[in-house]
Amino acid sequence: MMSRRFPEAAAVGVGGFVRDDTPTEQVDRREAVVASLAGTVRDLVDATIRTTLGDAELHRIRDDLAAVVDRLRAGQLPGPAGIRYNSERRSWNWGNAVMGAANALAPPLDVVHDASGCHADVDLGAAYEGPPGLVHGGVSAMLLDHIMGETASAMRRTTFTGTLTTRYRRGTPLGPLRLEASIVREEGRKVFVAGSIADADGVTVEAEGVFIQPAGAPAADG
Ligand SMILES: CCCCCCCCCCCC(=O)SCCNC(=O)CCNC(=O)[C@H](O)C(C)(C)COP(=O)(O)OP(=O)(O)OC[C@H]1O[C@@H](n2cnc3c(N)ncnc32)[C@H](O)[C@@H]1OP(=O)(O)O
């Protein structure tokens, strides 16, 4: 298993905000390829959870997959993907835990910025289960953290989660869900955000968060 700390990555600036002058059209093309791969890996995760095949067949499949991992390992970044951006203001963070195009652990979330904040539709399958048939509470908090953080940052300033409070009003069923977030007020470097998760019958989780522009970070970069 690869180390979870990446000193060699820090040494070459990988894993942070990385200026990368790959042309947008090439980034888009590559993004489609990694998203397609991640989609298949996501299917693999679901298929693994729900398989009823016998032990011997699972051992064979494990060996096949280990060979695939070896092929992917033939060309790797020295650390996490970080956030990359080019001179055309195209940014991409393909490893992000919630919306990373290359990350099969990400649901993924397609966040839409609208006049009042952000919203996203997501369809959570077996990999996100906590209580039987219901979304794991930590997954709900993670999704809210992301959409609320993106709302606070409005894609033009850096904000970090300071405090996130969640109220689980009832179980959130696996399946199609709607996430929403909006800015409630701002005080200096603090941005107060409200968020929610809803199914077809209404809100299941509501959240309040304080997102903070770190000291020294520009208030807005346009
Ligand atoms: C492609 C692009 C995608 C871009 C879109 C990406 C969206 C990603 C969304 C995911 C967001 C995350 O998960 S972020 C990852 C999780 N969060 C973190 O790791 C944050 C770790 N904590 C920190 O780095 C720091 O503690 C900060 C930045 C939160 C605060 O540090 P600081 O800047 O030194 O703050 P400080 O001067 O002490 O305080 C400033 C003001 O904030 C208040 N304050 C300080 N800490 C907190 C706190 N935890 N909760 C509430 N309030 C706080 C203080 O009382 C003060 O209020 P007053 O006296 O001024 O009234």
Residues 95 and 124 in one domain: no
Looking at residue 190, its pLDDT comes to: 97
Pick from 88, 105, 122: which residue ends a domain?
A: 105
Residues 198 and 120 in one domain: yes
Q: Which domain holds residue 15?
A: 1-105
Q: Render pLDDT for 167-201 as a digit per residue (tens, 0 to 9).
A: 999 999 999 999 999 999 999 999 999 999 999 99
Angle at CA of residue 81, ends 71 and 18, nearest 5°: 135
Residues 6 and 101 in one domain: yes
Whether residue 3 is contained in a domain is answered as: yes
What band does 11 get if pLDDT is binned at 50, 70 and 90?
very low
Whether residue 220 is contained in a domain is answered as: no
More confident of the two residues 140 and 3: 140
Pick from 54, 81, 105: which residue ends a domain?
A: 105
Pick from 105, 136, 165: which residue ends a domain?
A: 105
Residues 75 and 22 in one domain: yes
Whether residue 80 is contained in a domain is answered as: yes
The pair of three-digit structure tokens given for residue 100, joined into one six-digit string? 């990373």
Whether residue 114 is contained in a domain is answered as: yes
Report the separation in Å between the CA atom of 162 and the middle of ligand 1, taken as the mean of its atom positions.
4
Whether residue 29 is contained in a domain is answered as: yes
Is 141 near ligand 1, meaning CB less than 6 Å away?
A: no
Is 83 near ligand 1, meaning CB less than 6 Å away?
A: yes
Looking at residue 48, its pLDDT comes to: 98
Distance CA 163, CA 144 (A): 12
Residues 32 and 131 in one domain: no
Whether residue 113 is contained in a domain is answered as: yes
Q: Render pLDDT for 71-99 as a digit per residue (tens, 0 to 9).
A: 999 999 999 999 999 999 899 999 999 99
| Statement: residue 121 has pLDDT above 60 | yes
Mean pLDDT of 64-70: 98
Mean pLDDT of 50-69: 98
| Statement: residue 220 has pLDDT above 80 | no
| Statement: residue 63 has pLDDT above 90 | yes
Q: Are 160 and 110 in contact (CB under 8 A)?
A: no
- Number of neighbouring beta carbons within 10 Å of residue 21: 9
What band does 156 get if pLDDT is binned at 50, 70 and 90?
confident
Whether residue 163 is contained in a domain is answered as: yes
| Statement: residue 132 has pLDDT above 50 | yes
Report the separation in Å between the CA atom of 72 and the middle of ligand 1, taken as the mean of its atom positions.
36
Residues 76 and 122 in one domain: no
Is 85 near ligand 1, meaning CB less than 6 Å away?
A: no
Longest CA–CA separation in the chain, Å: 61
Question: Residue type at 61?
Answer: I
Phi, psi (degrees; rounded to nearest 5) at 23: -60, 145
Residues 128 and 72 in one domain: no
Number of domains, the chain: 2
Whether residue 77 is contained in a domain is answered as: yes
| Statement: residue 148 has pLDDT above 50 | yes
Residues 138 and 76 in one domain: no
Q: Render pLDDT for 19-33 as a digit per residue (tens, 0 to 9).
A: 999 999 999 999 999
Residues 88 and 182 in one domain: no
| Statement: residue 2 has pLDDT above 60 | no
**CATH code of the domain covering residue 176:** 3.10.129.10
Mean pLDDT of 104-109: 92
Asked whether this complex has an ipTM greater than 0.90, the answer is: yes
* End-to-end CA gap in the chain: 41
